[in-house]
Amino acid sequence: MPFRLVEPSELTPVTVDEAKKQLRLETPDDDDQVERLIGAATKYIEERCWRGLMQQQWELVLPGFCGPSALELPGWVRGQFKMNEALKLPRGHLATLDEEDGPAVESVKYIDPNGVERTLDVGDYSVDNVSLPPVLRPAYGKSWPSTRDQWDAVRILYTVGWGIDEVPEDVKQAVLLAVSEMYEKRTPEIGEMPAVMALIGPYRLNEVG
């Protein structure tokens, strides 16, 4: 299932000052290194949780409204297969955005059978953010529209992750422990960290695609 990071987060789960307190550093000498290690620790946890930690925008690209189980089917079957199937959105829970930022699912665009790009009306689908990963379904009484037979017939733009004040304490502590381990070894390239893995266990998702 093709999907890509469109807009990474500019925020991290912990600050440099929080990490320095964890490391018992009192001078600014290692601030740049600590900042890099926070980024590396965040990435480490994101990949093992299979989710974006801080708010970030992703795009899911599909050959049609057919769901991941139908992606390997021949094109002539895909076009008619499971038209009411739910679509899973990879990389975590949908973000809680301010009203001015718009909805977490920003747009659902598709190429109709005539090759015209269209945007699906928000009233034609429902967003399930209780399931993890979140799921997009046709609204009650609706069906997914037909699409042109091409690999990128459907593009869904959405935002996942926590806001700065929403990050669970377990996740923050996991980042701090990972930073400590990386700082001690002076490298962001280390193996599994049991204490970190235990903390992030409840937040780990299965890969989609």
User: Does 42 map to a domain?
Assistant: yes
User: Does 208 map to a domain?
Assistant: no
* Euclidean distance between CA atoms 19 and 116, whole angstroms: 50
pLDDT at 94: 93
89 and 26 both lie in a single domain:
no
108 and 17 both lie in a single domain:
no
User: Does 47 map to a domain?
Assistant: yes
Phi-psi region of 186 (alpha: psi -120 to 50; beta: other; left: phi over 0): left
pLDDT at 132: 87
91 and 124 both lie in a single domain:
yes
User: Does 31 map to a domain?
Assistant: yes
pLDDT at 131: 87
Q: Which range of residues forms the domain containing residue 193?
A: 3-52+169-203
151 and 106 both lie in a single domain:
yes
Number of domains in the chain: 2
156 and 92 both lie in a single domain:
yes
pLDDT at 189: 63
43 and 105 both lie in a single domain:
no
Q: Residues 18-52: pLDDT tens digits?
A: 999 999 998 999 899 999 999 999 999 999 999 99
81 and 18 both lie in a single domain:
no
User: Does 209 map to a domain?
Assistant: no
pLDDT at 187: 67
pLDDT at 80: 45
Residues of the chain with pLDDT under 50: 68-81, 209
pLDDT at 193: 86
